[in-house]
């Protein structure tokens, strides 16, 4: 439970810092979409729904918000006339770099609280545990 609580505190702090900036009302679910589309540049709403563990309608709605805000582009699928390909725009990729920098700040704060040596041991242990684990960053609703 300590890992879950730590992740929650860091996520809350991340979103508090986002609120201090003049950005759209991005939610944690949007972050999972950014990460997925960065790794799967030709994903469809169905692919996104499977990854997020939500209905196609919910994934389509979330993607539509990001399209409206200019973070994601939706283009016709080359092989399936019913589907659309979702991909990050330049604004979406810029936001992802910004979010990575913000997470790095939070990790630095964590490291300063526990000490650099303990942080290095923790990082090594977590990487060892995750080595070979399937799947990327996914929500746990």
| pLDDT single digits (tens) 18-74 | 888 888 888 888 999 999 999 998 899 999 999 999 999 999 999 999 999 999 999
Q: Residue 23 is encoded by which pair of tokens?
A: 């950005």
Instruction: Look up the pTM and report it.
Output: 0.84
Domains observed in the chain: 2-130 (1.10.10.10)
What band does 117 get if pLDDT is binned at 50, 70 and 90? Answer: very high
Distance of CA 63 to the CA centre of its chain: 13
Alpha-helix residue ranges (DSSP H) falling in the chain: 2-19, 28-39, 45-52, 56-68, 90-114, 116-130
């Amino acid at each position: 439970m300590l890992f879950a609580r730590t992740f929650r505190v860091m996520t809350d702090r991340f979103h508090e810092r986002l609120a201090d900036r003049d950005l759209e009302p991005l939610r944690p679910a949007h972050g999972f979409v950014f990460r997925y589309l960065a790794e799967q540049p030709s994903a469809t709403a169905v692919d996104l729904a499977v990854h997020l563990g939500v209905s196609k309608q919910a994934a389509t709605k979330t993607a539509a918000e990001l399209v409206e805000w200019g973070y994601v582009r939706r283009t016709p699928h080359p092989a399936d006339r019913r589907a659309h390909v979702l991909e990050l725009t330049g604004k979406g990729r810029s936001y992802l770099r910004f979010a990575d920098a913000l997470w790095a700040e939070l990790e630095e704060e964590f490291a300063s609280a526990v000490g650099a040596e303990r942080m290095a041991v923790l990082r090594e242990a977590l990487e060892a545990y995750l080595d070979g684990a399937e799947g990327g960053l996914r929500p746990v609703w």
